[in-house]
Amino acid sequence: MNTTSKCLNCSQAVSGNFCSNCGQNTSMHRITFMHFITHDFLHGLFHLEKGMLFTAKESLTRPGKAAIDYIEGKRIRYYNVFYFILILIGINLFLGNYYDQLAEIYLGESSEKMNNALGQKIDDFFTNYAKILIFSFVPLFGINSFFLFRKRNFNFSEHIIIAGITFLGILLITTFGRLISFLDFTQNFDIISNIINGITGLAIFIFPIFSYYQTFKDYYKKMPFTFRILLFTLLILIELTAFLLVTVGFFSQWGFVNGSKIEL
């Protein structure tokens, strides 16, 4: 192992263990198979999992405080929240598709395609753009909280961080529920799936309240906070309803305006 006086990555003069310009380690070693396995691969894998597990734990148990820590600069222990969200969206889409396939095999439930042109277009749209549509919840959360929770003087980008960590917690709960739902294909434990699904639905509804309460509890009394979080939830529902109406209107060429019947 050699320690260089000049960074081999950017040629910046260095005096410590890391380059002050690009951050590369100044202690270089020749790449061997054993060192690759024991250091580069396992070391990198361990730190990746450690960061993800820590971020998952913080997002579930103290989302509001985790968001504040992140905003205030305590970020080194956190895995990138938005990368994590995209990973979980992919996992949930995979699990949902796999569940449908198993349901068709073991339960005789066929995921029938919509049997009209409009329904097929809408179904294809939501299938093709599922990741983008699910991820769009983050800016929706951020916009609503930016206008409703102003006392803490967070800017819009900081509200996006709060929304991201909150939504990450929701996705973690959703992923757990999806995994448990595979108990539907067992004879003796399917009732557990039904119970967990009910608990999961309630937890998803409560979790944003828990997260935003942790974040803003020192700035709002209970009644003002309750009013704002209820309005926050109502705005999300209104925005989602408006989006669905616009989507149906777009693919139907606004046929419902003329009184045409749309079959979904």
User: Does 55 map to a domain?
Assistant: no
Residue 105 within a domain: yes
Interval 94-151: pLDDT, tens: 998 888 888 887 766 554 544 566 667 777 777 777 778 888 889 999 999 999 999 9
* pLDDT tens-digit map of 136-194: 889 999 999 999 999 989 999 999 999 999 999 999 999 999 999 888 888 777 788 88
Flag whether 36 is in a domain: yes
Q: Same domain, yes or no, for 149 and 97? A: yes
Mean pLDDT of 249-261: 61
Cα 74–chain centre separation: 20
β-pair partners for 25? 18
33 and 162 inside one domain:
no
Task: Tell whether 233 and 111 lie within a shared domain.
Answer: yes
User: HSE of 113 in the Cβ direction (CA atoms, 13 Å)?
Assistant: 10
**What is the per-residue pLDDT across 197-235, written as a single tens digit (0 to 9) for each?**
889 989 999 999 999 999 999 999 999 999 999 999 999
How does DSSP assign 12-81, residue by residue? Answer: -B--SSB-TTT--BSEE----HHHIIIIIIHHHHHHHHHHHHHHHHHHHH-HHHHHHHHHTT--TTSPPH
Establish if 56 belongs to a structural domain: no
Number of folded domains that form the chain: 2
Indicate whether 261 belongs to any domain.
no
In a domain, 127, yes or no: yes
* Structural domain boundaries enclosing 26: 1-48
Query: What is the pTM (predicted TM-score) of this model?
Result: 0.76
In a domain? residue 247: yes
In this structure, are 167 and 216 located in the same domain? yes
| Residue 126 and residue 94 in one domain | yes
The reply to whether 108 and 22 lie within a common domain is no
Q: Are residues 236 and 178 part of one domain?
A: yes
Indicate if 116 and 75 belong to the same structural domain.
yes
